[in-house]
Amino acid sequence: MSIIAFIGVGNMGGGMAANLAKAGHDVRAFDLSAAAVARAISHGCTAATSARAAATGADAIVTMLPAGSHVATAYHDTLFDAASPHAILIDCSTIDVATARRVGETASDKGLKMVDAPVSGGTAAADAGTLTFMVGGPDAAFALARPILEKMGKAVIHAGGPGMGQAAKICNNMILGATMVATAEAFVLAEKLGLDAQTFFDISSKASGQSWSMTSYCPVPGPVPTSPANRDYQGGFASALMLKDLKLALAAATTAGASVPMGAQAAALYQLFANNGGDSQDFSAIVKLLRG
Ligand code: NAD
């Protein structure tokens, strides 16, 4: 059993911390939201009075925070100072590559072991312990992080050095955003041409138009019974989070000098959808915008 400090027990972190507690770890939860901490306690965690109190003497520190600024502040202001020299630091938030690299490299400079380990999979996967982790950091840090991440996920993949977990995450989600837009517009075109949605799905899901966006999160109701389209686009992966990830991809592309015209177009469409109030709906609801 290890002592694990878990900072940020919101929609995702709550389920993840619960799985660590279920695995027998002593999980000290801290969050700015009292309701989030209360939920963590009900799942076997103990409440910490501050991030510093949670981290002091812990064997591992896991953070699941909204964005890069939260992560940089938490580590630079508190966690680097409070962490034991033997502790493994794991940031599971989705943040920009530059901040992830900077924070990871600062940890190394301080003689601490740290990985960036963003996840694929939403709240259902966080609750079920079936997330996929994309991990960036030195080999020794990955070796320490792996057994902890395995308690929260079904796959743990080492992507490279500091920031490479975030790089893998945003590149993957840029494909996801672009393929969802392409899939949704194809269903709209099929509809306008008089082609039945189920028939189009039956053909395209077995032909070269097939993608995860089509077969798992099909943007029209019917063909994939579990897709959010069948529950009025509630739950699933919020359009706001897709927009966040696309913006992170565009920022990284600008820094790296990469050309990402499809990612940029997808970001513009998700921004327009958010401006029209679609941000809380699943990202497959972009089909509504495309219908006009
Ligand atoms: P959330 O807003 O539900 O949880 C974030 C939590 O962090 C909140 O409870 C908030 O109170 C807490 N917090 C913020 N600043 C803090 C601080 N300084 N100290 C302690 N707690 C603090 O968000 P979420 O949906 O759980 O997402 C968390 C991260 O996971 C984000 O980076 C998001 O992009 C990523 N992510 C989310 C999903 C999803 O489906 N929700 C999927 C993959 C990745």
What is the structure's pLDDT at 41? 98
Hey, what domains does the chain have and what are their CATH numbers?
3-161 (3.40.50.720), 167-291 (1.10.1040.10)
Distance CA 241, CA 116 (A): 18
Using the mean position of ligand 1's atoms as its centre, give its distance from the Cα of residue 92 in Å. Answer: 9
The overall average pLDDT reported for the chain is: 97
Q: Which of 82, 85, 12, 14 is nearest to 47 (CA)?
A: 14
Instruction: Record the tokens describing residue 180, joined without a space.
Output: 């969802």
Q: Which atom of ligand 1 is nearest to the CA of 237?
A: 40
Instruction: pLDDT band for 1, please (50, 70, 90 cuts).
Output: confident
CB within 8 Å of 35: residues ≥ 6 apart: none
Q: What is the mean pLDDT of residues 166-173?
A: 97
CB within 8 Å of 281: residues ≥ 6 apart: 228, 233, 234, 238, 239
Please write the tens of the pLDDT for every residue from 46-68.
Answer: 999 999 999 999 999 999 999 99
Pocket of ligand 1 (CB under 6 A): 7-8, 10-13, 30-33, 36, 51, 64-66, 70, 74, 93-94, 119, 122-123, 237, 241, 244
Please write the tens of the pLDDT for every residue from 105-160.
Answer: 999 999 999 999 999 988 889 999 999 999 999 999 999 999 999 999 999 999 99
Active-site choice (110, 169, 192, 206):
169
Q: Where does the chain have alpha helices with state H?
A: 11-22, 34-42, 51-55, 68-74, 80-82, 97-109, 123-128, 139-150, 164-192, 197-204, 212-215, 239-256, 261-275, 286-291
The CA angle 285-225-243, to the nearest 5 degrees, is 25
Using the mean position of ligand 1's atoms as its centre, give its distance from the Cα of residue 289 in Å. Answer: 27
Active site residue 169: yes
Using the mean position of ligand 1's atoms as its centre, give its distance from the Cα of residue 95 in Å. Answer: 11
What is the structure's pLDDT at 235? 86
Please write the tens of the pLDDT for every residue from 217-270.
Answer: 999 999 999 999 999 999 889 999 999 999 999 999 999 999 999 999 999 999
Residues 43/17, Cβ–Cβ less than 8 Å: yes
What is the structure's pLDDT at 230? 98
What is the structure's pLDDT at 224? 97
Using the mean position of ligand 1's atoms as its centre, give its distance from the Cα of residue 65 in Å. Answer: 4
